[in-house]
Amino acid sequence: MQNACYDHEVAGRKIDLQVRGMPLALRERLRRRADGKGLSMSQYVIEILADDLARPTLAEWLAEVGKSPAIDLGGKTGAELVREGRRELGLQD
């Protein structure tokens, strides 16, 4: 319960973040991308960070996949099933 209250309280706050040592070429690419989307650099960086943090890490994804039940492939390998599917679609292997 305490964490939920803390998360709610923190979610409404905003802070400044400074990035030191950013190469000039990277900053310019960032500026051009932000301009292209009609955003400030700060807005664009926040968008990038939010998108990245919305995705699970590899470790989180693997842990979630590891919870899934095994799939019976009928004695075939995954590669064999892909080849069969490609043949059915008329695609070359």
Q: Is the pLDDT reported for residue 1 higher than 60?
A: no
Range list of β-strands (E), the chain? none
Beta-carbon contacts of 81 under 8 Å, excluding residues fewer than 6 positions away, are 73
What pLDDT, in 10s, does the model give residues 22-55? 999 999 999 999 999 999 999 999 999 999 999 9
- Do 44 and 30 meet the contact criterion of CB atoms below 8 Å apart? yes
User: Per the structure block, which two tokens stand in for 66?
Assistant: 């590891």
pLDDT of residue 9: 63
The pTM (predicted TM-score) of the whole model is: 0.62
pLDDT of residue 93: 59
